[in-house]
Amino acid sequence: MPANHAKRAFKYRFYPTDAQAAELSRTFGCVRKVYNLALAARTQAWARQERVNYNATSAMLTAWKKTEELAFLNEVSSVPLQQALRHLQTAFTHFFAKRANYPRFKSRKKSRKSAEYTTSGFRFRDGEVTLAKMTGPLDIVWSRPLPLGAKPSTVTVSQDAAGRWFVSLLCEDPAVKPLPATDAAVGIDVGLDYLLTLSTGEKIANPRHERRDRACLAKAQRELSRKAKGDGTNRAKARRKVAKVHARIADRRRDMLHKLTTRLVRENQTLVIEDLTVRNMVKNHTLARAISDASWSEFRSMLEYKAAWYGREVIAVDRFFPSSRLCSVCGTLQDKMPLSVRTWTCDCGTTHDRDVNAANNLLAAGLAVTVCGAGVRPQRRTPDGQSATKQKTPRREP
């Protein structure tokens, strides 16, 4: 692969025939079964202080297929089953490296329904994708074109909780390459009243996508609560209605974040953010809903991978840096700064907007890191491999 080309996933809706839907549903079930069997085998070996790798689980899969109890595994393509074992191997690799927790078993109701096909498990010809064990191509809605001459290396088929089907094609994208360097740099302070406050003074409103659909979501959830518990058809329909509302909220939020992060990365060479522990912050039940709706973690994730694509730099400031209490003009540190204080005047006579001042301090600290490593404490890692981040409790959502 050329050095300046990156692999990028292109995701599309598709509408399977009844036969294709049945085949994919069987495949999803078999993928989940193989993953859980392999995880159980590796867990038992772990208890015996033994390690089982991918090659061993692959041999187990061959043996499982020969048993009467698991003979149904032969009815689906073997490629997604092997990929499930590779994904399990990756999960254990992250666990042993202390970057993640111990792998968990997949649930039939709660786990994501997906199957991954490598080049031997699908055919891509004349703009059509045909999966193994299927006679016809998938009816894909090509909402945007693939890169010219693209050849997918993997195809991932999934179904979300709302019943929508998606296919994701992983291709080399020549359009993803470093942008021309620029001297522009920006500090970014996240919040709830405003989603982002930039060191330039610009404030980006929080669209509060979940709040806009809260009444509709509450109605769907009430209808679901009235259905008899179990696997009944009526309860399944009510559950899909709730899932559709959640999917609509998530789609709007993701679309907004994509546009916002792409703009920031294109305009700035250096982007400085706070290293927030969102996982701990959502334990505050008063603010958990608003924090989750703001989706700070997804914003940071998008910002980081797009910066890597386009040759930009993202700097995360340590959690102990007092960005809100420090005067960005004279450097005086205030003893206290209650969350109710949104504007304040320093002893030097400068009146600050709390969020703009914090963004300016983040920018200065981030630029100091690029020069001499001063002004920001180095990031620490927790036992699970995650970065130790600034725990900042935002004020109550109005």
| Known active-site residue 397 | no
- 384 classed as catalytic: no
The single-letter code of the amino acid at 2 is P
| The one catalytic residue among 116, 274, 275, 318 | 274
Active-site residue flag, 126: no
Q: Which of 189, 275, 293, 318 is catalytic?
A: 189
From the candidates 23, 116, 210, 355, give the one annotated as an active-site residue: 355
Catalytically active residues are 189, 274, 355
